[in-house]
Amino acid sequence: LCMVDMECVVQGIIETQHVEALEILLQGLCGVQRERLRIHEICLKSGPHLGTVASEVRLLCDLEQAEPSWTVIHAGGAMRGAGAEQISVLVRSMVESKTSKNALRMFYTLGYKLDHELLRVGFSFNFHRGAQITVTVSSINKMLKLHATDEAMPVTPGIQMVEVTAPATAETYAEVASAVSSFCEYLAPLLHLSKPGISTGVVPAAAASLMSDGGGTTL
């Protein structure tokens, strides 16, 4: 299955001590049960011989499944122009496809290099509220040794990342962006959500580092 479409996304950070309150709020707003999250993410970047424009792909392995399943994702550049500036969410192209565990070897053969890998641990809510919205709350962990998910250490202890994403098309992105913005207003008492790469207010240095390390990423 391969999907070539767009997605709307906003991100924010929250102190771990407030995550329980956020979960209770999300439970009430969404009306669905949370899903446990344990994602091994491998970020690959293309070598120079693959073209002048650097390419980045992410391989995601869902470790919560009895049989780990792999997904490959390529997130394109953000939509630009006057229309994009007026929207409070980031709109970008997205290609997502299920793949086999041999995908890593294939990308290495194509000339891609390992840029970094992460382990995301937390939970997500998937629901419909004007659009199909996913809210992900997770701690970002770095591996001390290659692929050693059992030895992953938090990038920013005490701080977790929040992402709100929704799939869209060229015809529906404005409507989807509006739905995401409206939903985010309900979360405003607990955290501020903004376009990836845009930090507002006072953000601790560690949190700023977290947003830049995992900032371009979506589950």
**Residue 42 exposure: Cα atoms within 13 Å on the Cβ side:** 21
pLDDT in tens, 126-174: 999 999 999 999 999 998 899 999 999 999 999 999 999 999 998 999 9
pLDDT value at residue 88: 86
Q: Which of 183, 208, 197 is nearest to 92 (CA)?
A: 197
The pLDDT tens digits of the residues spanning 94-127 come to 888 999 888 899 999 988 999 999 999 999 999 9
Residue 213 lies in a domain: no
Residue-number span of the structural domain to which 42 is assigned: 3-194
Does the CA dihedral 10-11-14-19 come out positive or negative? positive
- Write down the pTM of the prediction: 0.83
What DSSP line would sit under 64-82, residue for residue? TSSS-EEEEEEEEEEP-SH
Over 149-214, what HEC string results?
Answer: HHHCEECCCCEEEEEEEEEECCCCHHHHHHHHHHHHHHHCCCCCCECCCCCCCCCCHHHHHHHHHH
Cα(84)–Cα(63) distance, integer angstroms: 35
In the predicted model, what is the mean pLDDT of residues 33-48? 90
DSSP letter at 124?
A: E
Residue 217 has pLDDT above 80, yes or no: no
Residue 112's domain is classified under what CATH number?
Answer: 2.40.320.10
Structure tokens at 96: 């997502």
The per-residue pLDDT for 198 is: 52
In a domain, 178, yes or no: yes
Q: Does 111 reside within a domain?
A: yes
200 vs 66: which has the higher pLDDT: 66
- What's the token pair of residue 58? 């992410």
pLDDT computed for residue 35 by the predictor: 96
**Residue 203 falls within a domain, yes or no?**
no
Tokens of 178: 């509006």
Query: What does R_g of the chain's alpha carbons equal in angstroms?
Result: 17
Indicate the pLDDT class of residue 205, thresholds 50, 70 and 90: very low
Q: Is residue 99 part of a domain?
A: yes
In a domain, 216, yes or no: no
- Model confidence at 208: pLDDT above 60: no
Helix or strand run (H / E) with residue 135: strand 132-142
Identify whether 113 is part of a domain: yes
Is 141 within the bounds of a domain? yes
Q: What is the pLDDT of residue 218?
A: 37
> Mean pLDDT in the chain?
84
Residue 214 pLDDT > 50: no
pLDDT score for 5: 86
**What is the number of domains present in the chain?**
1
Residue 209 CA to residue 38 CA, distance in Å, equals 21
